[in-house]
Structure 1
Amino acid sequence: MKVAIVGSGPRGLSILERMAARLAEHPVAEETVIYLIDSHRIGSGRVWRSDQPEWFLMNTVADEVSAFSGPPDGGPTRPGAGPSLAQWWSGLDPDYPGPNSYAPRALHGRYMHFILRTIEGNLPEGVRLVRVRGTVDDLARTDDGYRLVLREGAWLTADRVVLATGHTTPELTGTQRVLAAYAGRTPGLRHIAGDSAADMPLDDIPAGSSVGVLGLGLSFYDVMAALTEGRGGRYEEDGEGGLVYRPSGTEPVIVAGSRSSMPLPARGRNQKHHDHRYDHLLFTTERILAHSRHGEISFAEDAVPWLLAEVELVYYATTLISRHGPEHGPERAAAFRADVVAAARDGVPDVVALAAGYGLGDVPRIDLDAQARPFAGQHFEGPDDFEAALRSALARDLAHAEAGNVDDPLKAGLDVIRDSRAVIRSLVDFAGLTPASHREEFLGWYVPRSSFLAAGPPRTRLRQVAALLARGVLRVVGPDTRFRPDPESGRFAVHSPYVAESKVLVDTVVDARVPIPDVRLDPHPLTRRLRERGIWTSFVNHGADGDRFDTGGVAVTEAPFHPVGREGLPDEGLYVLGIPTEHTRWFMQGGSSRPGFWTDFVQNADAIAADVAAAARRPVVEVPDPEVPDVEAPAVVRVPAAGPRDLRVPTAPVAV
């Protein structure tokens, strides 16, 4: 049997790790060859490759990251039992900064390479791994499997194919297409499309020039680092908890903005154990389905009230502990939780009113809109006025973050959003919402806010923003930042309609937003050919009222995630996981699991691995050999009971 895994980033590697563990449980019926294919670095893929600069950081503490599906168990390191990123890092680096540190992405790439070597060294008898460096540009069905064609000229055949192809760069649309076209016909201007910052041509931006950066999320921090630390600048402690930036003189001037114009808030200082699990008291799948009308879920009406109640429950309970101290606080918080849960029997509880009964009437409630858009509705007299407001907002957020994700009421409450992803997936995946709710309430309203409030960077990033603002290397323009061509000047203009005199002219525009996956806009040859052949289709959420929402995600079955073709039938020899299925399912961009228990990340990988392993160990049956005469004890040929097998050798060599 031959299996091809296309893409060796976190998803592909997790599938391989679980496949190796599964295949070790039972002898395989025949030799099994696994091709691990990647166009960049085999074992880490493009985004996590180990040769990228050290200033690109993860946004999850090392102690909460593992690419093994089980923790060390006292035996040898092997598929199913191995160290977390923090454990591996601590044994590697004498200057290991501790479990709550944020590792460079390049370090995580080296960790992935360690895992790949571990898998290779522990493959069971009869299983062989072949590394293939190349780009798969075509995949087609054959009479007995699949044929994969590589851009480099080779081809190979497989019985099963797993597609875990990760991030792509879709075609430009809307404003970005206009800006790119303008740059293309105007000498001296540049437009850099959204991508991993490590792959952006940021080194081409001239020193001292002005560069407009669209977006203030996680990718913004990467771009900021590349244009400052990456240009030789450095930060020093100021002795008062802040940083001072010492420029190298080769930096450009960064002119940044977004809809909110608030840089993504920092993650709270981690106070939780790596295997911490939050047990929901209010926001559960069962409760929401029980209260939904006619089985159709409106995210805004049926899910959000319960989610906000859960967030407020943690927020006010943490406030009670803070106010009453360790002696009486936990007892008061426990009583408050019990009252809230009791009230939930009759519907969404009024958590704010119940909190007032515990003396918390003076505590402002959490408003997700206000948290995600802190400057909404405000007008500023000029750039200095807005920068003062921004500095105050940064200082407030850093104070909350330093207090910790357990002790600080705001950060503890907002962490519930992160801890609720699995519940949300159970409601949203595979058209769980009505088309209008999916499109407008979930993707249009909730997802941007949850991404802003629950996926922040390390605290040091906000300290760096403050230092760059003070040095004048960075300017944040203001709310609802607009980027447009300015033919009069022959440059780009950046301004905020809410900040007077905010217009700035720039020579480069960088889109520092993660591209939204959409198979309809993906120009990659493999995606195009899969769609042309009807092997991949775009998942459409059909409503009972005739409404429809074409999500742009690859249509797949539930686990083990076979693509659903043009005829509406699954292709059971193919599997698709991760980024290509975004919007069919939600939060497919997650890049790791947590040590100590199986998150959805590992469960998804194991579902595919289990299906492949079952095919590899099919029971054998005895059939008469047609070349041997029928006698009392006929000779037999041992073959798999079912399933195709391709023993042909490619005429063109596969690069290994």
Structure 2
Amino acid sequence: MSRTPPSPSPSRSLGVVGAGPRTLVLLQRLGAQHAAADDGSVLDVHVVDPYDSGAGRVWRQAQDPLLWMNSRAADISVLPDESVTGLAEPVLRGPSLAGWVHENRADLVHDAAAAGDDLLREEVLRHEPGSFTSRRLASGYFADAWARTLAGLPAGVRVHRHARTVLDLTDDPRDGRQVLHLAGQEETLTVDAVLLVQGHLDVRPGPRERRIATFARTHGLAYVRPGYTGDQDLDVLRPGSDVVVVGMGLAFVDLVVRLTEGRGGRFTERPDGSLDYHPSGREPRLHVGSRRGVPYRSKIGYETPKDLGLPRHYSAQTVADLHGDAPLDLRADLWPLIVKELAGAHYRELFRSHPGRTALAAAEFDARFSRAAWGSAEVDDLVERSVPDPADRFDAAELDRPLDGWWGTSGDEVHERVLQHLEDDRTRRADARHSPDAAVVAALLSAYVVTAGLHAAGRLNARSSALDVDGWWHGFFSYVASGPPPQRLRQLSALARAGLLRFLGAGLNVVADPGAGSFTASSDSGPHEVRAQGLVEARLPVPDLERTSDVLLTRLRERGDVRAHQVLDGETRLSNGRLVVDGRGRLVRDDGSPHPRRFATGAWVSGEGAAAAFARPGTNAELFRRADRLAADLLRAGTSAPPTPRSVPTALSELPGDRR
């Protein structure tokens, strides 16, 4: 009697372009979703990226050892802990960055010593949960998490690494499967669906940058345009030269590190905890300013208050109660709610932890504050009567723009004002007597999540979705909640007192001055001017699909297979340069139709400019559930029908389902 041979197991395949932390988390969730399907299929996942597995470009091991992460080790994880719920099983749980260093300290010290790497050895020895880890040490954590993830994948899930660059992505005309064309490889890679998760990309110089570069070459000056600081050529900035730096965020901090310690200078600590800088003589003199004129706020140096009950005043429900389903303006409709959320968290923490600085029962204040509209005379009167010291009151305008309305009589006065602000901010954010500041940061994180949800649901109007979410709003969030480690601000103070760093103030204006043959900088904070032989734009390039240097996105754009986020505000066309995806994360083509087998997530996707790549332990982080949903959508797309024909072009202001 003959037997019918068993049917071969069905197989599916996915391509993932990018191997950074988001891909690491996605692989965990793909494994769980595949196991949940329990259909006996085989899943092949092809991950394509020339950089390190799990770390990608930004967190790769081969980079300047002086560059740090900007979050505490205890606040970084790519593996779920016990607080994370709502995930498909199995869940691969594991340590945070801090836990990994603690568990592996002896081996890490041994390996660093064997390699003769004293800097890394000393870092590991003194590493604590509150440490700000070097990026190359963090790359070891991501590599270990990658290995754990692959080892924990269920049977039938196979990951294939391709250390190459993707040059193109096309449809197979026979069945609609996706064909990846890799650099240096004649054979193509065919998969059922593709996810682009490329992180921060470079852009080609635009007309303004080209004009500046031409001026610099003509007059023998130096110019460093926007880019990832760790990869930029800073040798063009000559020792002893005067250099204007535009921008005071995280890229600025990395720039300063590379031009000071990176050129052989060193810091020593005084008995009072402040620092002295001992120059090598190879440093340029940096003159720095920005729109705000002050550095990003220091990271909080103590434990964030718990149980703040967030959100309270700004949630999807409160927005719906106030505005129904009308299009929302981020500044006009949502900002008052956001500020009330921040102020509410500030005062709840003040009344709870510092009652001696208040003049009303906490419950009564909270009840009256909750009923009143932010900005009303009722709130102003309540705060004035209940919080005697003005220094204990929440001031959103002062928090955001501390130099607004102030004018110094000289460059020295402006410099000293900014330096004092920097030192006061660092001191305040290390002092738990000011714990309402930490409550504001927690409330801002909550507000960021709410805003992202409203944006993803298509609730924001054209101007807000195109310009404000990834522009003004993201900038405010980064300035308040995503600043540098306190130690970096101590170093900035030391450099300022050593005469190597000068603060120019707010409203910085830089012109190419052909008469003087230099760059000339001035600000709105005083009458001073600086002439310089160099100019650095210390920021990441603004995403711009039209100018990306990424070959893959360029080719997709040229064929109309992707589109930048564009909307019409009246007769004005607005764009933020980022990729448009629909509510499931599928790439939207230039005619408004989503490609059923192509997905994207990350920094270059509209509305995701600051989407977290890491999870904060103990917070039931949404990062993992979001990856879970994306993994499920990818697997469904891998069994879908061939791509649908392109739809009839849709009006820019009426694209359904755009994640804006």
Equivalent in the alignment of 1:373? 401
Amino acid at match of 2:426: L
**Contact conserved, 1:517 with 1:552, CA < 8 A, in 2?**
yes
In the TM superposition, what are the counterparts of 1:161-172 in structure 2 within 5 Å? 161-172=194-205
| CA displacement at 1:227 relative to structure 2 | 0.8
Equivalent in the alignment of 1:552? 577
| Deviation readout 1:551-590 (Å, 9 max, x if unpaired) | 322121113x1112233322121110112213xx244453
* Aligned equivalent of 2:336, options 301, 305, 308: 305
**Contact conserved, 1:8 with 1:43, CA < 8 A, in 2?**
yes
Identity %: 28
C-alpha distance 71-192 of structure 1, shift in aligned 2 (>3 A): farther
Equivalent in the alignment of 1:231? 263
**Contact conserved, 1:218 with 1:264, CA < 8 A, in 2?**
yes
C-alpha distance 348-444 of structure 1, shift in aligned 2 (>3 A): farther
* Aligned equivalent of 1:606, options 622, 628, 637: 628
| CA displacement at 1:293 relative to structure 2 | 6.7
* Aligned equivalent of 1:338, options 367, 374, 390: 367
* Aligned equivalent of 1:263, options 268, 276, 295: 295
Please give the secondary structure, in 1, of the residue aligned with 2:169: strand
| Deviation readout 1:167-216 (Å, 9 max, x if unpaired) | 112233464332122224443x2222222211011244332233322110
**Contact conserved, 2:24 with 2:149, CA < 8 A, in 1?**
no
Equivalent in the alignment of 1:458? 485
Equivalent in the alignment of 1:98? 128
Equivalent in the alignment of 1:139? 169
* Aligned equivalent of 1:64, options 75, 78, 82: 75
Please give the secondary structure, in 1, of the residue aligned with 2:588: coil
CA distance in 2, matches of 1:396, 1:389: 11
Equivalent in the alignment of 2:549? 523
* Aligned equivalent of 1:16, options 27, 35, 44: 27
Amino acid at match of 1:513: R
In structure 1, runs of 5+ residues without a counterpart are: 619-641, 645-656
* Aligned equivalent of 1:535, options 553, 557, 561: 561
In the TM superposition, what are the counterparts of 1:629-640 in structure 2 within 5 Å? none
| Deviation readout 1:278-334 (Å, 9 max, x if unpaired) | 512111111122212761212222211111112112223333345535xx9799334
C-alpha distance 337-35 of structure 1, shift in aligned 2 (>3 A): same
Equivalent in the alignment of 1:496? 523
Equivalent in the alignment of 1:574? 598
**Contact conserved, 1:320 with 1:333, CA < 8 A, in 2?**
yes
**Contact conserved, 1:228 with 1:251, CA < 8 A, in 2?**
yes
Equivalent in the alignment of 1:85? 97
| CA displacement at 1:439 relative to structure 2 | 4.9
Please give the secondary structure, in 2, of the residue aligned with 1:432: coil
Equivalent in the alignment of 1:647? none
**Contact conserved, 2:520 with 2:529, CA < 8 A, in 1?**
no
CA distance in 2, matches of 1:127, 1:592: 24
Equivalent in the alignment of 1:246? 278
Please give the secondary structure, in 1, of the residue aligned with 2:198: coil
221-230 or 330-339: which moved more?
Answer: 330-339
**Contact conserved, 1:435 with 1:541, CA < 8 A, in 2?**
yes
**Contact conserved, 2:359 with 2:387, CA < 8 A, in 1?**
no
104-113 or 446-455: which moved more?
Answer: 446-455
C-alpha distance 382-230 of structure 1, shift in aligned 2 (>3 A): same
CA distance in 2, matches of 1:470, 1:347: 40
C-alpha distance 596-453 of structure 1, shift in aligned 2 (>3 A): closer
**Contact conserved, 2:297 with 2:479, CA < 8 A, in 1?**
yes
Equivalent in the alignment of 1:317? 348
Please give the secondary structure, in 2, of the residue aligned with 1:302: helix
**Contact conserved, 1:321 with 1:330, CA < 8 A, in 2?**
no
| CA displacement at 1:597 relative to structure 2 | 4.6
When normalised by structure 1's length, the TM-score is 0.85
In the TM superposition, what are the counterparts of 1:118-517 in structure 2 within 5 Å? 118-142=148-172, 143-144=174-175, 145-154=177-186, 155-173=188-206, 175-187=208-220, 189-272=221-304, 279-292=310-323, 295-321=326-352, 323-325=354-356, 332-343=361-372, 350-360=378-388, 362-363=390-391, 365-404=393-432, 407-429=434-456, 431-439=458-466, 445-506=472-533, 508-517=534-543
Amino acid at match of 2:216: A
C-alpha distance 338-278 of structure 1, shift in aligned 2 (>3 A): same
| Deviation readout 1:467-487 (Å, 9 max, x if unpaired) | 000001111222222222232
In structure 2, runs of 5+ residues without a counterpart are: 1-11, 85-89, 107-124, 643-660
Please give the secondary structure, in 2, of the residue aligned with 1:50: coil
C-alpha distance 293-415 of structure 1, shift in aligned 2 (>3 A): same
C-alpha distance 546-249 of structure 1, shift in aligned 2 (>3 A): closer
| CA displacement at 1:45 relative to structure 2 | 1.1
Residue 61 (structure 2) pairs with residue 31 (structure 1): no
C-alpha distance 72-593 of structure 1, shift in aligned 2 (>3 A): closer
CA distance in 2, matches of 1:5, 1:349: 54
**Contact conserved, 1:435 with 1:547, CA < 8 A, in 2?**
no
CA distance in 2, matches of 1:374, 1:347: 19
Amino acid at match of 1:382: S
CA distance in 1, matches of 2:17, 2:376: 45
CA distance in 1, matches of 2:151, 2:393: 54
| CA displacement at 1:411 relative to structure 2 | 4.1
| Deviation readout 1:92-126 (Å, 9 max, x if unpaired) | 22525321221112222221111111122233222
| CA displacement at 1:371 relative to structure 2 | 2.2
Amino acid at match of 2:228: S
| CA displacement at 1:28 relative to structure 2 | 5.1
| CA displacement at 1:217 relative to structure 2 | 0.4
| Deviation readout 1:412-471 (Å, 9 max, x if unpaired) | 324422332111112233542222344566555433323212211111111111100000
| CA displacement at 1:258 relative to structure 2 | 1.2
CA distance in 2, matches of 1:322, 1:43: 41
**Contact conserved, 2:226 with 2:537, CA < 8 A, in 1?**
yes
CA distance in 1, matches of 2:376, 2:27: 43
C-alpha distance 362-202 of structure 1, shift in aligned 2 (>3 A): closer
CA distance in 1, matches of 2:307, 2:510: 42
How many residues are matched? 607
Equivalent in the alignment of 1:590? 612
| CA displacement at 1:521 relative to structure 2 | 2.5
CA distance in 2, matches of 1:423, 1:120: 33
CA distance in 2, matches of 1:387, 1:165: 39
| CA displacement at 1:609 relative to structure 2 | 1.1
Q: For the aligned residues, what is the CA RMSD?
A: 3.0
C-alpha distance 347-412 of structure 1, shift in aligned 2 (>3 A): closer
**Contact conserved, 1:38 with 1:135, CA < 8 A, in 2?**
yes
| CA displacement at 1:26 relative to structure 2 | 4.5
When normalised by structure 2's length, the TM-score is 0.85
441-450 or 174-183: which moved more?
Answer: 441-450
**Contact conserved, 1:265 with 1:462, CA < 8 A, in 2?**
no
CA distance in 2, matches of 1:568, 1:439: 16
| CA displacement at 1:605 relative to structure 2 | 1.8
Residue 107 (structure 2) pairs with residue 107 (structure 1): no
Amino acid at match of 1:239: P
CA distance in 2, matches of 1:341, 1:417: 18
CA distance in 1, matches of 2:620, 2:435: 28
Please give the secondary structure, in 1, of the residue aligned with 2:613: coil
425-434 or 219-228: which moved more?
Answer: 425-434
